[in-house]
Structure 1
Amino acid sequence: MMLPTHAVIGLAIAAPLVVLRPEIAPVALAGALVGSILPDLDLYAGHRRTLHYPTGFALVALPAVGLAVAVSTTVTVGIAAIVAGAAVHCRLDRYGGGLELRPWEGTSDRAVYDHVRGRWRRPKRWIRYDGAAEDLLLLVSLGVPLLVALDDPFRIVVAVALAVGVVYAGLRRRLATLAPVVFGYTPDRLERHVPERYRS
């Protein structure tokens, strides 16, 4: 799934609070946005393993959300939203494609690493790959209502996510061909930070 889709899903998780609890909605929206992006900061350092904890984040999210409901402070709501956003991100990565450079070929059996079970979880490929038509459809179907429901600055975030997602989806297959060429010029001292799939 594209990072813009993850970001919009994070905002969609917290969006009902705009109506139900408007006083805590901004903190929840910001937290869910951060949490939904956070796991992908491992893109160049063990992607979908280093910061992806599909079981761990889910186990922490349940009591964190419970505490935020019982004691709604800026801190409890923010932490609960961050952990919930990260948990949903990590769980959803299993429903996409694998980690290969061309995930539409379906050659990888690695979707996300489950630290609790100590093994890689297989991709389900409900969304065939990041930038696939169904990924873009999910982004647009969640993003357009959020443009109406949210105020700035979250509305701006959604608009940027939609724009980036549309462009990325249009270029996705070309980027797979371009990546090995571009990363082929990486200096030797930085090469260890380039994922293996970009070098092949």
Structure 2
Amino acid sequence: MMLPTHALGGMALAMPVAFVAPEFTGIALVAGLLDGIVPDLNLYVGHRKSLHYPVYYSALTLPALTLAGLLPSVPTIFTAFFLIGAAVHSVADIFGGGLVLRPWEATSNRAVYDHYWAQWIAPRRWIRYDGSPSDLLVSITLAVPLLIALNGVLRQIVIVTLAVASVYTVVRRLLPTLAATLVREVLTPRHPDHLLTYVPARYRESGY
């Protein structure tokens, strides 16, 4: 799934705090937003491996929630909802497409790396690829209750995130060709070969 969907999902998971401990709603929502972003910070290299931990994040959520319930504070609430969102983020990517530039072609059997079993988990493809119309529909569904419940800066963040999701959906299928063209026409002629080794192979291989 695309990053905006994860960010909106993390915020939606934090919304119940508004009814249980409204004084911590803001920090819970910020944690939810960040856990939708942080696991994807390695998008360029090591994506869905070095920052995705479907087993470990999930295992830590219960003790973190327990601690937040017993000793509610900014650090414990933030940690609990960051871990919950990161766990859901890591698991949700399993239900998307494979880890390739064109996941709609269903050529990859790698969705998320499972560090516990030291192996890749195969994609389920319930959402065919990140930025697909169905992915955008998930983003919209998650955004609606947030837009109703929130106001101020947090509501503006939801609006901007939804706008980014919409634009990304429109251009998603063009991005692989654009990336390959950039590498072939701009980077390759102007940079020495030893620097190009830092460009992931998927951007340099023919057919992308």
TM range (shorter): over 0.9
- Structure whose CA Rg is larger: 2
Structure 2: gaps of 5 or more residues: none
Cα distance in 2 for partners of 1:194, 1:6 equals 26
Q: Alpha-carbon deviations, 1:54-97, whole Å to 9, x = none?
A: 11111111211111111111110011111111111101010000
Alpha-carbon offset, residue 166 of structure 1: 0.6
Q: Alpha-carbon deviations, 1:117-164, whole Å to 9, x = none?
A: 100000000000001111010001111221111122211111111101
1:16 aligns with 2:16: yes
Cα distance in 2 for partners of 1:168, 1:122 equals 24
SS of the residue aligned with 1:153? Answer: helix
Structure 1: gaps of 5 or more residues: none
**Map 1:20-59 → 2, pairs under 5 A:** 20-59=20-59
TM-score under structure 1 normalisation?
A: 0.95
Cα distance in 2 for partners of 1:132, 1:160 equals 18
The answer as to whether partners of 2:4 and 2:161 remain within 8 angstroms in 1 is yes
**Map 1:12-161 → 2, pairs under 5 A:** 12-161=12-161
SS of the residue aligned with 1:183? Answer: helix
The answer as to whether partners of 2:4 and 2:36 remain within 8 angstroms in 1 is no
**What amino acid does structure 2 have at the position aligned with 1:40?**
D
**What amino acid does structure 2 have at the position aligned with 1:42?**
N
1:194 aligns with 2:196: no
Alpha-carbon offset, residue 174 of structure 1: 1.1
Deviates more, 1:104-113 or 1:67-76: 67-76
SS of the residue aligned with 1:198? Answer: helix
Cα distance in 2 for partners of 1:19, 1:106 equals 42
Cα distance in 2 for partners of 1:128, 1:137 equals 13
**What amino acid does structure 1 have at the position aligned with 2:203?**
Y
The answer as to whether partners of 1:44 and 1:193 remain within 8 angstroms in 2 is no
Alpha-carbon offset, residue 190 of structure 1: 5.0
Q: 1:86 to 1:123 in 2, by over 3 A?
A: same
SS of the residue aligned with 1:94? Answer: helix
Alpha-carbon offset, residue 183 of structure 1: 2.9
SS of the residue aligned with 1:18? Answer: helix
Q: Alpha-carbon deviations, 1:38-63, whole Å to 9, x = none?
A: 10011122111011111111111121
RMSD: 1.4
Cα distance in 1 for partners of 2:198, 2:34 equals 24
The answer as to whether partners of 2:61 and 2:80 remain within 8 angstroms in 1 is yes
Alpha-carbon offset, residue 193 of structure 1: 4.1
The answer as to whether partners of 2:143 and 2:158 remain within 8 angstroms in 1 is yes
Partner of 1:181: 181
How many residues in Structure 1 have an aligned counterpart in Structure 2?
Answer: 200
